[in-house]
Structures are given as C-alpha cells and as structure tokens.
Structure 1
Amino acid sequence: MTAASIVLPDTVKTQAYIDGAFVDASDGSTFANISPATNEVLNEVAACTAQDVDTAVAAARRAFDAGHWSRIAPADRKAVLLRFADLVEQHAEELAHIDSVDAGKPISDCIDGDLPDVVLTIRWYAEAVDKVFGKVSPTGTDNVGLVVREPAGVVAVVVPWNFPSNTLSWKIGPALAAGNSVIVKPAELSPLSALRYAELATEAGIPAGVFNVLPGLGHVTGKALGLHPDVDVVSFTGSTEVGRMFLKYAADSNLKQVALEMGGKSPQIVFADMADELAQVAEDLAGAAFWNGGQNCSAGSRILVHNSIKKDFVEHMVGLAQARVVGDPADVGTEIGPLIEPSAKERVLRFLDGARTNGATVHGGESILEETGGNYVSPAVVDEVDPQAAVVREEIFGPVVAVVGFDTEDDAIALANDTAYGLAANIWTRDINTALRVAKAVRAGTVAVNGFSEGDISTPFGGFGISGFGGHDKGLEAFDQYTELKTIWITLR
C-alpha cells in the first residue's frame, strides 16, 4: 500500500462530539480504529460509555426543549441546512478521503458517488422543510379537525460502516429538517467522518446539543442508547442480528419507536428475451454484485437466469469479475477495495469453501494481495449451485454472486421469494407485462426493472421480512420515522 492509503486528513478528530464540543469519553477509554487496507492502527477513538450517553441525551433534550431548533420557523431551519450542505460540498474531497481510509472504500466511489449523494440529500430535505403540510379533516360545521406532525424529540441514529456518509445523510437529513435533536452512533469500524459532519453542522449554525456524535462499541454505546428512557426514536441500519437487539432494548425501556433497515439477499432475475443484450445485463449485474466489494445490503448477490441463456451469461459474468481491479482504495483506478476486517474475509472464504465442497463451481474468490496485510478477496461467481446452499441463501457481504437457473416465470418468482429477506430485487426483460407481473409478485421493498437501482432521493427505501420495518429512508416518507402524528380536535362555540 502507498502512504496515501493510510494517511488521514489533519482535520480528523477522534473524541466524542457532545453539546457542540469535542470531549473525551467520561472514563478516558478509547478503541483502536484499524485500516482495512493494511490492518494497521489508524488512531485511537473515544469509546463512549453509558455515562456519555446520559450526558449527550441530556444535552439533546435541553436543546429540543429550548426550541432554538425544534420550534424555529421552517424557513430558518432550511437556510441553516442549506449552509450545512454547502459546507459539506466545500469539504467533499476531505470527507471522501476520510471514508476511503477509514472504511477501505475506493476513493473514486467516495468522490464520484457518495459525497455528491450526501450533498444532494441534505439539500433535498432542506428544501422539503417548508413543503410538508398537515391536514384538515372533513367535519361538520361545529368542529375543526387538524392533523399535524411534530418532531419526535431526541433521535438516536445508528449507522453502518459500509456507507458511513450516505446512510448518515439519509437519516440526519429528515431528522434535522423535522426539528429533532440527533445523537449519531457511528459504526466502530468507520467512526471518523460522522465527527467531521457534526463539526460542519455547528459551523453552519445548527445549535449546540442538536447534533451529537458518540463513537464507541455497539454493546456499550449502542446498547445504552437503545435502553435510554429519554431517547424517543432509534433509526438503525445494520445487521438483522443487531436490529433484533434494538427491538428488545425498546421493549425493555420506554417502547421508543424503532426503524430498521437491515440485511438482504437480493434476487436479480434475467429472462430469456434478454439473450441479445446479455453483455449489457451482465455488466449491470456485476456492478450490482461487486459494488463496494459486495458490502451492500441491497447487493445483487443472487442471479436467477433463464436456463436457455445461463451458460452464456455465466461466461460474461466470469469475465467481468476477473476484470475488476482489486487493490489500494487510495488508487483512483481501484474498483474493489479490501473487506472491512479480517473476520469478514474469513467469512467470505468460508462460504466459498463450503460451496466448492458441496459441488458448486467457483470462479475466482481467492485471498489476494496478502503482502499488504489487508483483507482482499477476488470477486467470485458461483455456478452449478444448489438453490438451498448457504452461498445462495445467506447474506455474505463480500464480492460473491451465485447464479441459479430457472425455466418458467413461476419458477423465477418462487426462487426470488424463497428467502427471509426482502430488501431489493431486479428484473431484466423486454416485456412490460412480464416486468409488472413479476415486480408485483416479488416480495421486496424496492424492485428495479432493467437496471440495478435503489431509486433516487425522492423514492423511499426499506424492506420486507427480516430486511426491516418501522420506517423508510429517503423520500418524504422518511419524515414518518422522525415525527409524531397528532390530532387537534376543536369544538366551535
């Protein structure tokens, strides 16, 4: 790895951010933040305790009750959020570099994709602030019924390590726009950029106590937020296992609202009428499978392809997988960086070994660049695999795609729905009737047709089944997570 791979910008902070200031953890404890590219220690980051959670929640509640953010005119909140977006745009290269180093993400993905999305998201919700209206219910002449939405209060935002900037913006955008106070718990595997966003938010004019960041370990900091009786909402993106914990924390405390976006095992269905466009389809689905090294909840990790074109499709996919550039995330030519930690690499290799043992054909999927000390695996295409195999059914979170054949539309739908997950799906066909029938039949929160996509900022993103529930990120629907619905019934006299 080059020196650029492991050097962070001078602006990086490693303390917690509480009530408008950087502070050490209450007991001075830290945890080692490790580079995925080299497995060397980048820095020591504050490991916030339950006491720090109490302090941050108290600050957030004071700020909310004071009304300096929660009760100001929506147009004033909009102006501050637009300044915040401008500052993020001005510091986009810096923030992109932080995420690339901290999470091992290819720098080109961060600069060209993640940061523009963050700026767009904050601006979109800023502009939405004064364009979301309540309702007047139909009544007789003696009454007026008002249906209004109010900010929920103190919101805990728990974000994942794979998209530390994007996911953060999807949550803080609507949460702040609605007037809430926010406490961010970044993933311990990529904690740094959230601290910089908080600093820029304060510079933009967001009052102290409204935007707090508590780095720390999930079983300490995250658990304390989930159990805190004065946290009104938890919005969580991450694993299904941890999502279940937050539901339990809510049940054991104040029954706070919990919104969950969790794992996926997304089917990508390719029908026979795409035979003349297989190269284009394969290119799209290779991106769906290998984007961010497959470390993406909506990754297209199950490809269901009509048996009449399956052999040719697999050949295209294998060629595309072999052509992917795996390497130093600081290199602008890198397409796939390291997996996030050694255990993630071991997990991917274990899945592939199991597939080989059970008779599947695995193209690629080898441990590479071991001299760097990083967590690198070459992309893998798994063929001739039993649909019930673990590599087909379980979320791997690595650059692995399994290809399964089908004969009929009903077979494709049955295979697509043969999962406990339901986050996303993709359909490739020239026939609009087939596209609509299958899109309606597939159990997934987002179904893309003729192109891998999660939609844009105007469309909600969330899942079915164990992929999550309780709210959606993106779209105006995201405000539902962070607001309370209130009826005001007036009797006229």
Structure 2
Amino acid sequence: MAPTFTHEFNHPGYKGKVEIPTGVFINNEWNTSLDKSAETIDVFNPSTGEVLTSIPEAREADVNKAVEDAHTAFNTTWGLHTPGFKRGEYLIKIAELMERDLDILASIEALDNGKTFGAAKGFDVPEAARTFRYYGGWADKIQGKVIETSSAKLAYTLHEPVGVCGQIIPWNFPLLMFAWKVAPAICTGCTVVIKPSELTPLTALYMTKLFVEAGLPAGVVNVVVGYGQTVGNAIAGHENIDKVAFTGSTAVGRKVMEEASKSNIKKVSLELGGKGSNVIFADADFDEAVKYAAQGIFFNHGQTCCAGSRIYVEKPIYDKFIKAFKETTQKLQVGDPFAPTTYQGPQVSKTQAERIMSYVESGKEEGATVITGGARHGDKGYFIQPVSPHPHLSVYDFISRIADRCLAVGRLFSRPIAELANFRLFSSLVPYADTSMQTIFGDVKQNMKIVKEEIFGPVVVVSPFETEEEVIAHANDSVYGLASAVFTSNISRATRVSQKIKAGTVWINCYNELHPQIPFGGFKQSGLGRELGEYALESYTEIKSVQINVSAKCGIPA
C-alpha cells in the first residue's frame, strides 16, 4: 500500500483534516511503483518553497501495468459493455461528489498550485464539476447516421470509443485540465491512463478517492504521477495506447507527436502554447475594456495558455488606457492564497518564477519600458514584486457572498451547485487589496522576445495602433493562434476583425470566457483538435461504416 498525505487546513474558507492517497493509482488500487528503483517526488508549497509531502514516483513499468488494466476494463466492463446512460450516471455522480467536496478540492488546489482559494472555489472546482456533468449528459447521445445508397442496401455509421487513451496534463489548472481530459474520454467509453504534472498532483490524487466512491469500475481511470522523460515518454510512445491527449508547451507537444508517430501512429490531440492578442478600439466601453484587459492577462497569475499578453490599443485612447490599466493593475494584491484579501498567490515553482524574471530582464535589455512591476518579492515562496497598498473588496468575500446565495437557491430548486455557482467571477474584474506583482511593458517593438514568445506569467506588453489593417497584421504576427479578443461597440467591425484573426477562439467585448459546451483549441502551433463541447468527443471516437446488402445480387457470373 502507498502512503497517505494528511493536511490540516485552517483558513477562513475551510477548516478540517484532509487525507489524500499518494500512490500510483491502477485498477482502483493505490500502490508504490512496480519499479523497485523508483524514488519519490517532492511536492512543494509554492507559497513557502518548502516540501509539502513526497509521493511515490511512477515509472514505465507502472504505465505498462496501467495500460494492461485499462485494456481489460475496456474489453470487459467499459467500452461497448456499459451503455451510454450508465456511463452518464457515473459522470454525474462524480460531479456531485466534487460539488460536495468543493471546499476541500479548492483548498488542495490553492495549497498545491498557489492560486487563491477564492479563485479555485469560484472557478476551477465548479467548472471541473460542470465538465463531468456536461459529458454525463452526452454519454447516451453519441450517435451515427443512416446514409442513403439504394433501396437494395442499407448503410449507417457508428461512433465507437477509440480504446485506451493516454493523457498528459499541465500544472496551471491541475483539476480543470484533469476534468477536460478524463470526462469526454470516459463519456465515449474510452479508458484512461493519465499523468498529472509532478508539480501539482494532489487534486488528481484526491479525485481517485471520488472515482472509487462513485463506483467507477476498476481500470477505467488510472493515475500515474511521474516525470515527463519517463512516464510522459512511455505514454506517448506506447504501442497499446490508442490515443494520446496532451496539454502543455509547443516544444513538448512536438515530442509527443513524434513519439506517437514513431510507435503505432496513435490518434493525437494537442492543446499547446499561445500568445493572445487583445485588440481595443477607441469606440469600446473603456472601463470594461480596461478591466477585461487586466483579467485577460493576470487571471491565474498569467499562467494561462490563452492569456491576453499582447494588448493593442487604438492611438486616440492609448495614453488614457495606459494610465487606467496601471491603476487597475496596482490594485491587485499578491500574497497568501488563503488570505481573504489576496487576488493573486505565488507562481507555481521556483523554475517558473525565474523563467518569468528572465523575460522581464530581456524586455528591459531590448529597450522596453517597465510601466509597473518587474521584480521579485519577498524571501520565501515564488512571488514577484508587489507595488502600493490599496484596500478593496476581496475575491474571497465576493465569492462567499455569491456562493451563499447560490447554495440557498440550489436547495430550493435542486439544481447542481456547480451550475448555480458559475458566477462568471472573472467576467467583471473585482478590485482587490494592497499590492501588485504584475509587469506591464510599454515602448515595445514587434520583434522583441517579450512580444514573440509565450512567457506564461503576469507580464504584458501594450502597443498603440492606428488602423484596422495594421492591428490585424500585428495580432496574426505570431506562430501561435489559440485565443484573441476584440473590444469595440461596432458589431460590424467586431465580426469583420474576428474573422480575420487566426485563432481558435476570439472573444468580443470579454475575455477568458470558458464553458464546457464551447470548443477550445488553437490554430497554427497552438495545437491540434479541440477540447470541450461536442467537438471533443470526435477525438475519442472512431467512425465505423456498416453497409448491409438487403436484396441486391452479386454481379459476378456464377
């Protein structure tokens, strides 16, 4: 048996002891690695830089065992052996358990990842639960079609599960990415071997408890926490994995695709990097554009693939925007992720914090002007420079007030908390207290490193533009094409510009709107395939054509 990590939470949002199984989860059991040379992985608290716990490291032998048991489950208790309505019941039960443990999951996410408890409770956990619930509704609606050929023949298609799916997820949204990958896969009847990031494995490991409690058959979901060069490579190149789904950097995505092609040419879906453009025209609602611009880049500490890290502002309002954007940014407090007044916690790791600071230094060296921020903060944890104090309503207080109302309404109408709690918190930025670690650059040129490369942190560049054609060219001047936004009161312009921007998602007069029913994915080097919505189901199914001869006779002479 594998060890259990126990943590006592004592913060305004949740007080209590939580136990998390930390073993390699295969066939509904937690164990240490089959590879006796395997070591342990230290899991750090990003707020302090100290070790939270050490968990058993998975190795290639564990991936092989997980794949074997996933195949057994697919061929006996899952796949085509469990009807869609029953798979849907499991998914909905999992969502209900997540909603029950909302505060626990949010606390673990804040502890392990560094995001605020308020953000995890108001966004990450409810959206993850909604994803399981959404695909629970899809499970018995995956249908083919009848195709007309002739009166003497019948043809139809079936959408059958691919089989065993290997999944590799990042550290920026540990629980949400877990849901985005697992829910559509098991909805279609696939079984899963998933590798969470070794930096943030705790919510995925807690979810294994909920899978067992929900009665999910053994082998349907298997969780192996290990390093990319061992477990990640083993998944991508495994001959008996039928599909691999990866979210992470474009560089690693290339390697995943290469390993998949070198092995059994398995199906591949990739959700990769981004360098989002946020285009603000002079006729936009100015105050809303400023708030959404801040939300677009600083949400989740800037550790978001769709972050609006390139802001283009029409010249007549550029100076006014810079002033207002700086003021808004300086109201965003950095600190303890469990403190009610904190908007933003630490970056996820020392490596990531140092990487962000290297980009800040690069921007300075290339001649860009730091408008605010741009330095490390404190001697503990992975924080970057705060700025001046300014007290306002906290994110935690805001969410708590809304959550109380949602829970009351939920009891009256028996609607799921996850749906009721979908406050769209970040659709209108709430001002928060004290300090800012965010960095705003002005006076940038399009060929600068900070303009071209994905930083994955709270660093943004702001540039003026004069014409529509000019800003479209700037927006598209990137190897990425994941997400962009357009702010204007002219609907014709909004439609016209959104059509010309090469990105998988274009938000108009908003940013970071993510829903389980809306597909998400990128153009160009931002990936292949789509997450979420009906479109995600396509990558987990194979289309089979069936043709029946009803009455036609063979034309070959007897």
TM-score range, shorter chain: over 0.9
**Matched ranges for 1:407-422 at <5 A:** 407-422=466-481
Counterpart check, 1:487 vs 2:545: yes
RMSD value over aligned CA atoms? 1.6
Paired residue for 1:14, among 22, 25, 34? 22
Paired residue for 1:116, among 123, 126, 142? 126
Distance in 2 between residues matched to 1:164 and 1:273, nearest whole Å: 38
**Matched ranges for 1:210-289 at <5 A:** 210-274=220-284, 277-289=285-297
Aligned residues: 488
In the alignment, is the contact (CA less than 8 A) between 1:9 and 1:98 conserved in 2?
no
Cα offset for 1:467?
Answer: 0.5
**Matched ranges for 1:17-96 at <5 A:** 17-26=25-34, 27=36, 28-68=38-78, 70-96=80-106
Distance in 2 between residues matched to 1:93 and 1:77, nearest whole Å: 26
Cα offset for 1:8?
Answer: 9.6
**Matched ranges for 1:356-367 at <5 A:** 356-367=364-375
| Structure 1 unmatched ranges of 5 or more | none
Report the secondary structure of 1:351's partner residue.
helix
Cα offset for 1:333?
Answer: 2.1
Cα offset for 1:190?
Answer: 0.4
Matched with 1:148 is 158
Distance in 2 between residues matched to 1:361 and 1:3, nearest whole Å: 42
The one-character-per-residue Cα deviations of 1:326-381 (angstroms, maximum 9, x if unpaired) are 11112132111111111211121121122222221112333344232334341011
In the alignment, is the contact (CA less than 8 A) between 1:233 and 1:256 conserved in 2?
yes
In the alignment, is the contact (CA less than 8 A) between 2:274 and 2:483 conserved in 1?
yes
**Matched ranges for 1:91-490 at <5 A:** 91-274=101-284, 277-377=285-385, 378-469=437-528, 471-490=529-548
Q: Percent identity?
A: 36
Change (3 A) 1:209 1:234: same
Distance in 2 between residues matched to 1:279 and 1:381, nearest whole Å: 18
In the alignment, is the contact (CA less than 8 A) between 1:454 and 1:461 conserved in 2?
no
Partner AA of 1:216 in structure 2: G
Cα offset for 1:440?
Answer: 0.4
Cα offset for 1:189?
Answer: 0.8
The one-character-per-residue Cα deviations of 1:235-294 (angstroms, maximum 9, x if unpaired) are 1111111111101111111011110001100000001212xx322211111011100110
In the alignment, is the contact (CA less than 8 A) between 2:84 and 2:141 conserved in 1?
no
Distance in 1 between residues matched to 2:478 and 2:169, nearest whole Å: 25
In the alignment, is the contact (CA less than 8 A) between 1:86 and 1:119 conserved in 2?
yes
Distance in 2 between residues matched to 1:393 and 1:4, nearest whole Å: 43
Distance in 2 between residues matched to 1:70 and 1:33, nearest whole Å: 38
Distance in 2 between residues matched to 1:388 and 1:8, nearest whole Å: 51
In the alignment, is the contact (CA less than 8 A) between 1:69 and 1:207 conserved in 2?
no
Cα offset for 1:455?
Answer: 4.0
Q: Whose radius of gyration is greater, 1 or 2?
A: 2
Distance in 1 between residues matched to 2:213 and 2:384, nearest whole Å: 38
Change (3 A) 1:268 1:66: same
Change (3 A) 1:134 1:9: farther
Distance in 2 between residues matched to 1:114 and 1:373, nearest whole Å: 22
Distance in 2 between residues matched to 1:382 and 1:304, nearest whole Å: 12
The one-character-per-residue Cα deviations of 1:98-117 (angstroms, maximum 9, x if unpaired) are 11111111110000111110
Cα offset for 1:174?
Answer: 0.9
- Of 374-383 and 393-402, the range deviating more from structure 2: 374-383
Report the secondary structure of 1:382's partner residue.
strand
Partner AA of 2:493 in structure 1: T
The one-character-per-residue Cα deviations of 1:387-436 (angstroms, maximum 9, x if unpaired) are 21111111001101100111100001000000000000000011111101
Partner AA of 2:455 in structure 1: I
Report the secondary structure of 1:188's partner residue.
coil
Cα offset for 1:170?
Answer: 1.2
Cα offset for 1:447?
Answer: 0.4
Report the secondary structure of 1:327's partner residue.
coil
In the alignment, is the contact (CA less than 8 A) between 2:79 and 2:161 conserved in 1?
no
- Of 81-90 and 68-77, the range deviating more from structure 2: 68-77
Distance in 1 between residues matched to 2:9 and 2:96, nearest whole Å: 30
Report the secondary structure of 1:272's partner residue.
coil
In the alignment, is the contact (CA less than 8 A) between 1:294 and 1:399 conserved in 2?
yes
In the alignment, is the contact (CA less than 8 A) between 2:369 and 2:444 conserved in 1?
yes
Distance in 2 between residues matched to 1:191 and 1:367, nearest whole Å: 29
Change (3 A) 1:88 1:141: same
In the alignment, is the contact (CA less than 8 A) between 1:446 and 1:454 conserved in 2?
no
Change (3 A) 1:250 1:8: farther
The one-character-per-residue Cα deviations of 1:449-480 (angstroms, maximum 9, x if unpaired) are 011134422110000111001x2111011101
Distance in 2 between residues matched to 1:381 and 1:335, nearest whole Å: 17
In the alignment, is the contact (CA less than 8 A) between 1:4 and 1:330 conserved in 2?
no
Provide TM-score, normalisation by structure 1: 0.96
Report the secondary structure of 2:151's partner residue.
coil
In the alignment, is the contact (CA less than 8 A) between 1:37 and 1:104 conserved in 2?
yes
The one-character-per-residue Cα deviations of 1:52-86 (angstroms, maximum 9, x if unpaired) are 11110000001111134542121111112211111
Distance in 2 between residues matched to 1:8 and 1:362, nearest whole Å: 43
